[in-house]
Structure 1
């Protein structure tokens, strides 16, 4: 409600009294009445207009007062917004919630710093540009531990994990990433895993940042002109981790009774170097892509390397349907499709004698090629991309239950 000054009210009162007196003395003409009415309306309009046009003028006895929010925490809220893009809520005197403005876009465009706290297996990988490698921009990858207070994300490789963690306090905006490419069967369940990390990155598609060992990607026109490499071996296997309790070990013992297998690796005292690896695998019609443990989504370079080198993988691993979520069903042979190792051996011998049927395993090469993951670099760049797109709070409260459960 706007309250007029007493002087303005007195002025209007005197005008009305004069009108009353004049009315008693002499009846005004119609033109006079119209003039008086117009004059009164004009004076009223001027007063009201002046009130709203300049409400703080001293002409009024009781000036209007604007309502201001309590800004005691505004600086703190804006600081958090700039650092984390969190939503900061403050209340005014009347307890009405207000939301602070969005952070400065220039702050959001700053590089995301990803600190690799532990080099995988003690070997540092090259920190190449994420933009040129994966079309992921605005990333700064580093091994420099002195940047611990500035890093938006810190990567911890599970197999190299120890008590050597950054000292508190941990910046509120910083996320810790649990990074692991081994299967649950070959990872220790450390007691300090729970309630320590914010994000997971592994081969498992249920990870926050899934990175498989490889994938099929579109082939270029040149790659579509694929020719099956020359073959002089039927079945090959390269293995060093040969454990008696592995499913693949039991299968191999029976399988090798019915077919010749060219064996390489530490266990067979026939090691080959990286230069010879490609030549050996590509010279085999079939390669035993036997995983050391059976877990969902766990198929490694043992699968993707033979695919890339023009060899048909014979797999032991998760069920066939899981493989078919990643590669075509006619690109591989699953041991579970056969009642026994002997029947698998008979099938491979039959395929060796039927060239046209064997060629059908490479139909997918008309469209795709197999690409392996760049271990470490691809994880780091994809973690950077994730941190750019996900600035909300997140925590992994039961890592042991999720990965080993």
Structure 2
């Protein structure tokens, strides 16, 4: 109020200011979901508006270099979730990825994030489907997390989805966390005007030069963590770390769990450069015993950054199926914390023995290496995640070199598929 008892000018205008801010927020959200999608080829950028008319059927467009034949709709992808903004058409085939739900009638695949999908009623009505449209259930969390943290028993989701898209090898669409490195590689190759430093046959892991990688090493062990004990697995790994420190291991701990020890975002170049200075990284998951659950902690924070991962969470057998040979250290190989600490101290003093963990970088990350074939985890011929999904959608055209079989099926029991093959150590609430 003003001194004379009347509302002050700023109070009179306050409601209009609030209304303006609210309108701007709504318009921003509308723009986000209705914005154009940019499709990138190695030589140019093609802009396609979300009109979903004849252009999606390959109609003429001035200077068009892509025939857009398949549409992937992300129905309920969380805003902060990452996904490829572009797909390399030379290995993934041609697909457009959109969040715009008005594309439902034209979409070849509809991808549903597990969050928010508890019953068939949470999905669009079948009458709205395009013929032969594929419903895909996508999940990047472990079964332990979906069961106990999100309380998803999945019992009502029978004969609802056609394909699964997860990090597990038995998924229809294999979507492991190492896919982020493939995506980074594609973006570098497609966005950069010069591709002279981007390898063609394998994912660019930066450090194929082991001598330069060894020269960066200044410290012993790093650990970045944000889940301090919100799950049983997080509590257990914290206990393991405390035991290692009591056994004499120096661990540089970073993240919100440790006061005054912030760390750059894990996708940032600064984080990558910081971790490259460490010989080892604690790739400890927040769940234990879940099949093939190997996250960015292993692939991005350790392997990509040039640190040797020390692994806990997934079994050694699971890691060995996915990772390069002799590229990691697993806690299963040591009876006590003291045994592991003694081994790490030995490696710290013995460069020859430590360097053996990088032998795969020199032998397999080279243009001469062909033995691994297209199914090697770092081969650019290996299609993962949305790249594989795009290939599968094109497989019905019987194009040579696609190498995928399009399967129309219905998953009778998603609950049985997701939870039925897991061990008790994965599904236990403790």
Interval of TM-score (by shorter of Structure 1 and Structure 2): 0.5 to 0.7
Distance 1:145 1:200 in 2: 20
Which of 191, 199, 220 is the equivalent residue of 2:163?
199
Q: How do residues 135-154 of structure 1 correspond to structure 2 at under 5 angstroms?
A: 135-154=91-110
When structure 1 is superposed on structure 2, of 173-182 and 246-255 the one drifting more is 246-255
Tell me the TM-score normalized by structure 1.
0.65
Q: How do residues 102-181 of structure 1 correspond to structure 2 at under 5 angstroms?
A: 111-123=69-81, 125=83, 127-131=85-89, 135-161=91-117, 164-169=122-127, 170-181=129-140
* Cα pair 1:177 1:197 within 8 Å, conserved: yes
Q: How do residues 218-257 of structure 1 correspond to structure 2 at under 5 angstroms?
A: 218=202, 224-226=208-210, 227-229=212-214, 230-243=216-229, 245-246=232-233, 247-257=236-246
When structure 1 is superposed on structure 2, of 185-194 and 216-225 the one drifting more is 216-225
Q: Once the two structures are superposed, what CA deviation does each residue of 1:85-128 show, in whole Å capped at 9, x if it has no partner?
A: xxxxxxxxxxxxxxxxxxxxx9xx97122111112355564632
Within the alignment, does 1:323 sit opposite 2:319 as a pair? yes
Distance 1:142 1:378 in 2: 18
- SS at structure 1 position matched to 2:411: coil
Change (3 A) 1:220 1:184: closer
Tell me the TM-score normalized by structure 2.
0.62
Change (3 A) 1:233 1:371: farther
Within the alignment, does 1:271 sit opposite 2:262 as a pair? yes
- SS at structure 2 position matched to 1:387: helix
Change (3 A) 1:334 1:149: same
- SS at structure 2 position matched to 1:234: strand
* Cα pair 2:93 2:394 within 8 Å, conserved: no
Within the alignment, does 1:358 sit opposite 2:354 as a pair? yes
Q: CA deviation at 1:164?
A: 4.5
Change (3 A) 1:300 1:113: same
1:78 matched to which residue of 2?
A: none
* Cα pair 1:136 1:385 within 8 Å, conserved: yes
Q: CA deviation at 1:232?
A: 2.0
Q: Once the two structures are superposed, what CA deviation does each residue of 1:298-339 show, in whole Å capped at 9, x if it has no partner?
A: 111111121122111100022222211122342111011000
Provide the aligned C-alpha RMSD in A: 3.1
Structure with bigger gyration radius: 1
Q: CA deviation at 1:210?
A: 0.7
Within the alignment, does 1:403 sit opposite 2:418 as a pair? yes
> Aligned residues, how many?
294
1:55 matched to which residue of 2?
A: none
- SS at structure 2 position matched to 1:381: helix
Q: CA deviation at 1:359?
A: 1.1
Unaligned runs of 5+ in 2: 1-57, 59-66, 147-151, 182-200, 366-375, 396-404, 421-430
Distance 1:111 1:280 in 2: 43
Distance 1:401 1:382 in 2: 24
